[in-house]
């Protein structure tokens, strides 16, 4: 009797473990599409705290001021620039503490960057002197620009925390 039950159990196990029997097959296709546009992205925007300095110690020249990272598709011509900041006026950038101002100049590759038109490099960005922006061609990889700053401090400057905010813009056709 035990052999009979064992034979039945083994027979059922073989029937259920064999899997289904397919009677036929049909197939179709699916379409996938992506449109890639030329373009650019800003991966890192400069910004920096220059620290604390004693008045009377002179200007801060060539201070590291962060790095800009731009990534444009390979072959895309682009231009980047920085506006004159929150308190800028006609080619000059200022950091303020209350009503007191300190002048500073941002540069890349020792060439000053700024827009005397007080706008970023959009349709109104027409400044040609001093070097308002940089032109380059995208490689498909991040391109890095090291920023420097000269902070002009005179003996009559009032002690305080001075700050400003600039806008970095990248344009391409």
pLDDT in tens, 60-112: 888 888 888 999 999 999 888 887 778 776 566 888 899 988 888 887 766 66
Q: What pLDDT was estimated at residue 65?
A: 84
| DSSP 8-state secondary structure symbol assigned to residue 112 | E
Classify residue 27: in a domain, yes or no.
no
CB 88 within 8 A of CB 117: no
Classify residue 1: in a domain, yes or no.
no
Question: What's the total number of domains in the chain?
Answer: 1
Classify residue 103: in a domain, yes or no.
yes
State the burial class of residue 101 (Cβ atoms within 10 Å of its Cβ: 0-12, 13-18, 19+): middle
Range of the domain at 101: 55-171
Q: What pLDDT was estimated at residue 133?
A: 67
Q: What pLDDT was estimated at residue 87?
A: 78
Residue range 43-51: mean pLDDT, rounded: 82
CATH value at residue 131: 2.60.40.1090
Classify residue 133: in a domain, yes or no.
yes
CB 93 within 8 A of CB 112: no
pLDDT band at 121 (very low <50, low <70, confident <90, very high): very low
What whole-number distance in Å separates Cα of residue 93 and Cα of residue 115? Answer: 9
pLDDT, greater one: 102 or 117? 102
Classify residue 3: in a domain, yes or no.
no
Q: What pLDDT was estimated at residue 1?
A: 60
Nearest CA-CA partner of 106 in 115, 98, 97: 115
- The model's pLDDT over 4-17, given as tens digits with 9 standing for 90+, comes to 665 565 555 555 55
Classify residue 37: in a domain, yes or no.
no
Q: Is the pLDDT of residue 123 over 60?
A: no
Classify residue 16: in a domain, yes or no.
no
- The model's pLDDT over 125-165, given as tens digits with 9 standing for 90+, comes to 444 433 456 788 999 999 998 888 888 887 788 899 999 88
Tokens of 61: 């020249």
CB 108 within 8 A of CB 148: yes
Radius of gyration of the chain (CA): 32
Reduced to 3 DSSP states, what percent helix, strand and coil does the chain have, rounded to the nearest 5?
10, 35, 55
């Amino acid at each position: 009797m035990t052999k009979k039950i064992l034979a039945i159990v083994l027979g059922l196990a073989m029937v259920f473990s064999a899997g289904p029997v397919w009677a036929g097959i049909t197939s179709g296709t699916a379409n996938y599409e992506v449109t890639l546009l030329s373009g650019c992205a800003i991966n890192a925007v400069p910004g920096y705290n220059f620290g604390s300095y004693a008045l009377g110690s002179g200007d801060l020249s060539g201070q590291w001021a962060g790095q800009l990272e731009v990534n444009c598709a390979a072959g895309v011509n682009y231009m980047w620039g920085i506006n004159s900041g929150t308190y800028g006026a006609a080619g000059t950038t200022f950091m303020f503490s209350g009503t007191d101002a300190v002048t500073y100049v941002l540069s890349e590759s020792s060439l000053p960057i700024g827009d005397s038109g007080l706008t970023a490099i959009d349709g109104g960005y027409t400044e040609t002197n001093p070097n308002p922006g940089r032109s380059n061609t995208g490689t498909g990889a991040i391109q890095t620009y090291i920023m420097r700053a000269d902070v002009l401090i005179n003996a009559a400057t009032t002690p305080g925390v001075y700050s400003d905010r600039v806008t970095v813009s990248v344009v391409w056709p």
